[in-house]
Structure 1
Amino acid sequence: MPISRYWMAGTGLALAMVTPLAAEDGGQVIVVTGEGLGETPAAPAYDTRTIDRETLLSVPSGRIEDALSSIAGFQQFRRSDSRSANASAQGATLRALGGNATSRALVLLDGVPMSDPFFGYIPFSALAPERLGQIRVTRGGGSGPFGAGALAGTIELESAGIDVLEGVAGHVLANDRGETEVSTTAAARLGSGFLVASGRWDRGQGFFSTPGADRVPFSARAAFDGWSAQIRGVAPLADDIELQFRGLAYRDERTLRFEGADSTIEGQDASLRLVGRGAWQFDAIAYIQARNFTNRIISSTRFVPVLDQRNTPATGLGGKLELRPPVGDAHVLRLGVDYRRSDGELYENAISAFTGAVRARRNAGGTNTDLGLFVENDWTIGSLVLTAGARLDRWTIRDGFFDERDGDGFSLVSRAYSDRAGWDASFRGGAFLRASDAIALRAAAYSGLRLPTLNELYRPFVVFPIVTEANAALENERLEGVEAGVDLTPADGVAIALTAFDNRVKNAIANVTIGTNLRQRRNIDAIHARGIELSASATFGRFDAIASAAWTDAESQGSGFAAALDGNRPSQTPRFVGETTLSYRPAENWVFSMSLRHVGAQSEDDLETDILPAATTLDAFARVPISDGISLVFRGENLTGETIVTRNQGGSIDLGVPRTVWGGVRFGF
C-alpha cells in the first residue's frame, strides 16, 4: 500500500473522528489536549532539561537544531545547520559520544522516532520550531521505555496544542542575502477536538562554504530550497480517551561546494496515537514513514560528476504500546512493547571523470528490526522517589546485500550477507530526593543499545579525497553509564542544575583510518566520556538570563587495528561547549535577546590530524509589536563574523554561516 494511500486514509479517519462529543450529564463538551501521558514521578532522577515554546520562537536562526544547541552536551556530527550541511551527516548526539554521522540520541516527535530508516540522520529542516509546544531532553538515561537507539539520551519534541495555536498565524522573513523564510499555521476547534494545518518554506542562494582563497570558477554557494507541511488532528473517543493523527511531508534540496553537487531529502510520515487517561492509562502509537535521499558528488579537480547516488528509498514501520495499571498512589508501573522495522536500498552510479560514462552501478541494502519489551516502576516514599526498570530487545539484521556491475551490466561484485539476530537486556534505575524547597538530589545508573544503521552496514561513501568503506559485520553498540546531580533553587526565579556523569559506549562504531585516504566503519573497544554539565536560569523583573555549559573528557579506546586512535578524543567532540542568553522584556510581547555561544576545538578525524578551531558566535533576536497580533521580528546570526570551520579534511575546508541579518513580520498567536 503506497504511503500516499496510508496518508489519505489516516487523514480521513482523523477528520471523521474530530466531532462533538457530549458528556451524559447535560452536554458538557470534553476538551482534549493532544498530548501523550504525563511524566512519571521519577523523571527528575534522570538529567532532563526542557526548552519552552517562547525559547523556540526566539531562536535567531529559526532552526530547530540551533534551539537544541542551548542544551549543554547536544551536538550534531558537524557544526553546519540544516541549510548548508549534507543531510546524511546530521546525526544528533549528547555527552560527547559522537564520532560519526548517525544519531546516538533518540529523537521523537509526538512519540514517533524521526531518524531516517537508512542513514539514521534527523531531518531537522522538516521540524519547524513554531509547531512545537516544548522539547524535553534527557541526557543519558539509557533506553528504558523510550526504545532502542536512546544510547546518548532522548530528545522528545511535543507539538503545540490548540490553546496556543488557535486561529491563523505565521511569519515572513528575509535576510541580507535575499533569502526568505515563510511559515503559516491554521488551527481550529472542531467540536470537542481540533485540527491544525501548517506549512513552511525556506529558500535562498546561501553563502560560499569554501574559503575565498580556495574558490575556483566552479565553486558554488550553499543554496537551499526546502518545504514541509503537516496536518494534525485530535478527537475524543470517550471522556478519558483521545485519538491523535499526524501527517508530515517534506522535501529539501541543497548544494554544497561545487556547481552540480546537489542533494535532496524527502519524506512522508503518518502516525496514529490513542491515549487513555482513565484508571488504566495507556499510550498506543502506530506509524509508517517513507524516506528518500539523493546526492551527486563532483570531482574537486575536474569539476564533473563522479558519483550519482540517484535513489535511496527507505521505509520505517513501527509502533509502541505502554500500559500504566492502577497499583496505588505510591507507585507508577509502566509495562510496554515497541517495534521498529527499517529497510532500504541504495542505488548509485560511479561515473568516469574523463569520459562521463558510467563505470559501475551499485545496489546495496537490507532490513533491521527491533522488538522491545520493557517494565519500569516508580515508588514514592515521602520526599524520596525510587525508580527501576528493565528492557529486553530482540533484534535482527537480515537480507543484507551489495551488488556492483560495470557500465555494460556485467557483475563485478555480488555479496549476500548472513542474517543475524539476538537478545539484549538493558537496565536503568535512579533516585530523586527533595531534600528541601531549595535542594533536590538525584542519581542514576543505566545501560542502552543501538543497532548499526543500514548506512553503516552497507553503504560506502567518498568525501574527496577520503574513501570510507561500509562494514556488514558491525556489532551493536552498548552503553553503560552513571550520573549524579543536584538541582538548586536558592531564590525565587533562580534555578541551577549541576550533573556529573561517566558514560561508556562499548563496541562504538567509528570511521577508522586503515590506509592512506582510506577509512572503514569499525567497532572500536569503546568511547569513554566523563564530564560535568551545568544549567542555570534567573529572572529579575523584566530581565532573564539562561546559561548552559558542558565540559567533557572523552577518549577513544582501541586496540589491534584501532590501536593508533587509543587515547584520542573521538572525532567531532569538543572538550568545552557553553552558551549564555540574556533577554529583556520591556512590555507584553516585546523581546530583546542576545546569545553568546562558544564551541571548543575539535578534530575532523580519528587520528586528530585535522583540527577545527574553536569558535565563539554572537546571535540576537528582537520582537516589537506594532499592532494587535502583528509584530516586527529581527534576527542576527554570527554578528561578529566569526570564521566557523565545519570541515577540515587534509586542508579541504568548509565554513559555517557568516554574519546574517534577518527582518520581517510575525502575525497571529
Structure 2
Amino acid sequence: MLRHKCRHLIATLAVGTALPFAPAKAQDTVLAHSIIVTGAGLGDTPATPAYDVETITRDRVVTSASGRVEDVLSSIAGFQQFRRSDSRSANPSAQGVTLRALGGNASSRTLVLLDGVPVANPFFGYIPFNAIAPERLGSIRVTRGGGLGAFGAGAVSGTIEMTSAGPGEIGPIHAQALVNDRAETQASATLAPRLGSGFLVASVQWDRGQGFWTTPRSQRVDASARAAYDSWSASLRGVAPLTGTVELQASALAYDDARTLRFEGADSTSSGQQASLRLVGRGDWQFDVLGYVQAQDFSNVVVSSTRFVKVLDQAKTPTTAIGGKFELRPPVGDGHVLRLGADLRLTEGRLLEMPFSAFTGALTAIRRAGGNQSDLGLYIEDDWTLGDLVLTAGVRADRWTIRDGFYRETTPAGLVMEDSAFADRSGWTGNVRGGFVWQASQTVALRAAAYTGMRLPTLNELYRPFVVFPVETRANAALKLEKLRGYEVGLDARPLEGLTLSLTAFDNSLKDAIANVTIGENLRQRQNVDAIRARGLEAAAALDLGRVQFDGSLSWTDSEVEASGAQSALDGMRPAQVPRLAASGTLAWLPRAGWRIAATLRHIGRQFEDDQETDSLPAATTLDAYVKVPVAPLVSVVLRGENLTDERIVTRDQGGSMDLGVPRTVWAGVRVGFR
C-alpha cells in the first residue's frame, strides 16, 4: 500500500517540477530584478561552527580522480564505508557510511542528505552513490559528531549535507566524456538555463565498463569475473520565486545500477526514484517546508566460492519511504536564532529470496521478510550571540515504531517451514545537544560541544539474513536502538592570510551498537554489544595562495568494543573494518584561468575483517592525479589517474580469500562548459 502511494506521489511531484515555470505575471516581471533565488535551504545559524564542520567546495567536488562522490568524501579523514571498495566494485548493500570510527557493520551511522532529503536506502541503510553525480553538486558539508539536534534520526556519527548547484556554478551547459585504459566510459551532461527569476537544472550521467579484477591472480578460476558495472542516473530540478521572499524547489531523481562481483552470474542491481517539493521563506518569519517520497529496489545473486554455482537469489527488495520536515525561525531579536521544527519518515520494506542447492541446482525454499518503521521527531534549538561568544542548545524528542515484522519460509511446493511474526515495538527517546564557539582573537576560535543521538536498527538488520559465502550472518528481530553520547573540544585558527587550521579532540560512545558477532564457525548474528567507544583527534588544514592550494585532513582514533557476558571475548577489540589512522592531502596548482593540476595522497590504516580480529586488511597509501587544460574557449582536456602507484588495496580477506580495490587506472576525455 505504501509503495503504491509512493508511485502516485512520485508522478505528482515529477509533474510539479514544471509548475514553477508557467508564464510569469506582470507584477512578477516588475519585481524580478529584486528577487534572488538560491535553490538552498535556510542559511546557517551562528552556532554552526560550534561543531566539527568541514566543507568541500565545488572545485574539489568536480575534480576527483574517479569522478565519484564517495571518492570526493574520502578526502575527509574519518569518512569510511563498510569496505574500501567504491560503487563500481562493491556490493551496494555494503556501502553504508560512518564517521568517527563507529563502524562495525554495513549500515550507515551517518545521516546523508541531498538538498535536505535523506538518500540512504530505507531497507538496508546503504547510500546509492551511483545516483549522485558530482557535477550536480555545489558543495558538501560534513559534520562529524554533533548528535541529532535539527537533523533527522540516524546521525549518530555525523551528518553529510550535499547541496545541488545552480546555473551560477554549472553554467547553462556542461558536459564531459571520458574513457580509461580498460575502455570503460563515463559521460554526463547538464543543462541549467535561467527561466525568468528562477532556473531549471536537468542532468544525466552514464557509467559503464568491464571492470577490473577484484580477485587476486593466484585465486582466479574459470568462473572468476571482472567487476563489471553499468549505471545511469537522471535528475530534474526547478527553482522559482513565489514572492519576493519565498521560493519553491521541486526535484526528481531516477537511477539504475547493475554490477558483477567476483564470479560470473554474481550480479546485483539497485534502482530507485525519488521526488521532493520544498518551500523556503526568508522573510521575517523564516521557514523551510520539505516533503519527499522514495521508491527503491535491490537484487543480488550469491555464487558459491567452491562450486561456482548460484546458491541464493535475492530476487527483489522493494522499499518505500515518505517523509518531510518543517522548520520555523520566528523573529526573536538580534543576536538570537530560534529554530522550531518537526520531521517525519515512514518506511516499508519487503524481501523475496530463493536459496538453491549447490549440488543439484534445485530451488530449496522461498523466503519472505520485511516490516514497517516510522520516526516522528520534534525539536527546539536556540542560538545566542553575546559579543565574541555564541552559545547553542537544543532538545529533540522522537516517537519511533517498528511494526509488522515477519519472516516466512516455505518449500517450493508451498509447505510452511517457518512463519514468524515479530512483536510490534514503539517508544519515545529524548536527545540533547549544546555547545559554544568563542572568537578568542582575530585569528583563533575555540569551541566545545556535547550531544546525544539515536539510530533505529534497519529492516535489513532486523529481518534479513545474508551470506558472503561461506559466512552466514543471521538477522535479529530483537535488536535495540543504538544510543550515542559524545563530547568534543576544538580550535580553529587563521594564523596567516589564506591559511586555515583546525583541530578537534573527541570522545564518543555508542551504546548498544549493532555488530556482526561471530557465534560459530562461518556463522554470525547481528547483536547489540554493550558499546563502541571511540576517542581521537581530527585535524584539517587549508591553504589558498591563489595559484597554489592545499587541503589536508587527518583522523586518529582509538576505537574499541565494550562487551560483557557471552560477548566478553570481544571486549577491548577494535570494531570490524575500522582503521586507527586515516589521512588525505590534495595539492593543486592553477597556473592560469581554467587550468587545474592536482595530486591527492591518501592513507588508510590497517583494519580487521571481522569482530574476532582474525583477518586483517593491510594499510594502503594511494596517489591520485587530476589535470584540466583548456584547449579552446569552451573546451578543456581532462586527464585523471587513480592509484597511480598501483598500490594493492585489500578490501576483503576471509581466511585468505581476498577481494582487491581499484588498480592503477588512467582516464582521458573532454569537458565542455558554456558560462
* Superposition TM-score tier, normalisation by shorter sequence: over 0.9
| 3-state SS of 2:18 partner | helix
Structure 2 counterpart of 1:403, from 402, 405, 408 = 408
Distance across 1 between alignment mates of 2:629 and 2:170: 20
Q: In the alignment, does 2:252 pair up with 1:252?
A: no
Distance across 2 between alignment mates of 1:49 and 1:544: 16
Deviations 1:219-246 (A, max 9, x none): 0000000000000011111111111011
Per the alignment, residue 15 of structure 2 pairs with 12
Q: In the alignment, does 2:149 pair up with 1:144?
A: yes
| 3-state SS of 1:54 partner | helix
Judged with a 3 Å threshold, the aligned counterparts in structure 2 of structure 1 residues 129 and 21 are, in CA distance, closer, same or farther, namely farther
Is the Cα–Cα contact under 8 Å of residues 3 and 268 in structure 1 kept in the other structure? no
Mapping of residues 374-389 of structure 1, within 5 Å: 374-389=379-394
Judged with a 3 Å threshold, the aligned counterparts in structure 2 of structure 1 residues 370 and 618 are, in CA distance, closer, same or farther, namely same
Per the alignment, residue 204 of structure 2 pairs with 199
Structure 1 counterpart of 2:268, from 263, 271, 276 = 263
Distance across 1 between alignment mates of 2:68 and 2:30: 47
Q: In the alignment, does 2:615 pair up with 1:610?
A: yes
Is the Cα–Cα contact under 8 Å of residues 171 and 673 in structure 2 kept in the other structure? no
2:408 alignment partner AA: D
TM-score, with structure 2 as normaliser = 0.98
Q: In the alignment, does 2:671 pair up with 1:666?
A: yes
Is the Cα–Cα contact under 8 Å of residues 246 and 282 in structure 2 kept in the other structure? yes
The sequence identity of aligned pairs, in percent, is 61
Shift of 1:25: 9.8
Deviates more, 1:7-16 or 1:132-141: 7-16
Distance across 1 between alignment mates of 2:387 and 2:607: 46
Shift of 1:435: 1.0
Per the alignment, residue 290 of structure 1 pairs with 295
Distance across 2 between alignment mates of 1:128 and 1:579: 22
Q: Where does the alignment leave 5 or more consecutive residues of structure 2 unmatched? A: none
Is the Cα–Cα contact under 8 Å of residues 400 and 416 in structure 1 kept in the other structure? yes
Per the alignment, residue 87 of structure 1 pairs with 92
2:324 alignment partner AA: G
Per the alignment, residue 438 of structure 1 pairs with 443
Deviates more, 1:537-546 or 1:488-497: 537-546
Is the Cα–Cα contact under 8 Å of residues 120 and 453 in structure 1 kept in the other structure? yes
Distance across 2 between alignment mates of 1:483 and 1:27: 47
Is the Cα–Cα contact under 8 Å of residues 360 and 405 in structure 1 kept in the other structure? yes
Q: In the alignment, does 2:326 pair up with 1:321?
A: yes
Distance across 2 between alignment mates of 1:449 and 1:100: 16
Shift of 1:57: 1.0
Q: Where does the alignment leave 5 or more consecutive residues of structure 1 unmatched? A: none
| 3-state SS of 1:455 partner | helix
Is the Cα–Cα contact under 8 Å of residues 21 and 236 in structure 1 kept in the other structure? no
Distance across 2 between alignment mates of 1:526 and 1:281: 40
Is the Cα–Cα contact under 8 Å of residues 21 and 192 in structure 1 kept in the other structure? no
Distance across 2 between alignment mates of 1:33 and 1:331: 23
Per the alignment, residue 343 of structure 1 pairs with 348
Mapping of residues 136-285 of structure 1, within 5 Å: 136-285=141-290
2:430 alignment partner AA: A
1:12 alignment partner AA: V
Distance across 2 between alignment mates of 1:299 and 1:287: 40
Is the Cα–Cα contact under 8 Å of residues 22 and 28 in structure 1 kept in the other structure? no
Judged with a 3 Å threshold, the aligned counterparts in structure 2 of structure 1 residues 22 and 153 are, in CA distance, closer, same or farther, namely farther
Per the alignment, residue 488 of structure 2 pairs with 483
Distance across 2 between alignment mates of 1:182 and 1:21: 39
| 3-state SS of 2:193 partner | strand
Structure 2 counterpart of 1:357, from 343, 357, 362 = 362
Per the alignment, residue 449 of structure 1 pairs with 454
Q: In the alignment, does 2:372 pair up with 1:367?
A: yes
Shift of 1:354: 1.7
Distance across 1 between alignment mates of 2:494 and 2:418: 63
Deviates more, 1:537-546 or 1:591-600: 537-546
Distance across 2 between alignment mates of 1:40 and 1:648: 45
Distance across 2 between alignment mates of 1:399 and 1:328: 47
Mapping of residues 588-599 of structure 1, within 5 Å: 588-599=593-604
Distance across 2 between alignment mates of 1:269 and 1:397: 23
Shift of 1:541: 4.3
1:512 alignment partner AA: V
Per the alignment, residue 526 of structure 1 pairs with 531
Per the alignment, residue 576 of structure 1 pairs with 581
> How many residues in Structure 1 have an aligned counterpart in Structure 2?
669
Distance across 2 between alignment mates of 1:3 and 1:341: 11
Structure 1 counterpart of 2:552, from 547, 553, 557 = 547
Structure 2 counterpart of 1:563, from 568, 593, 598 = 568
Distance across 2 between alignment mates of 1:329 and 1:441: 23
| 3-state SS of 2:15 partner | helix
Return structure 1 stretches of 4+ with deviation > 6 angstroms.
none
Is the Cα–Cα contact under 8 Å of residues 148 and 431 in structure 2 kept in the other structure? yes
Is the Cα–Cα contact under 8 Å of residues 184 and 200 in structure 1 kept in the other structure? yes
| 3-state SS of 1:562 partner | helix
Shift of 1:72: 1.6
Distance across 1 between alignment mates of 2:304 and 2:614: 23
| 3-state SS of 1:407 partner | coil
Q: In the alignment, does 2:116 pair up with 1:114?
A: no
Shift of 1:407: 1.9
Shift of 1:437: 1.3
CA RMSD of aligned residues (A): 1.1
2:298 alignment partner AA: F
Distance across 1 between alignment mates of 2:62 and 2:539: 23
Per the alignment, residue 635 of structure 1 pairs with 640
Shift of 1:17: 2.0
Judged with a 3 Å threshold, the aligned counterparts in structure 2 of structure 1 residues 27 and 425 are, in CA distance, closer, same or farther, namely closer
Distance across 2 between alignment mates of 1:65 and 1:581: 16
Shift of 1:191: 1.7
2:110 alignment partner AA: A
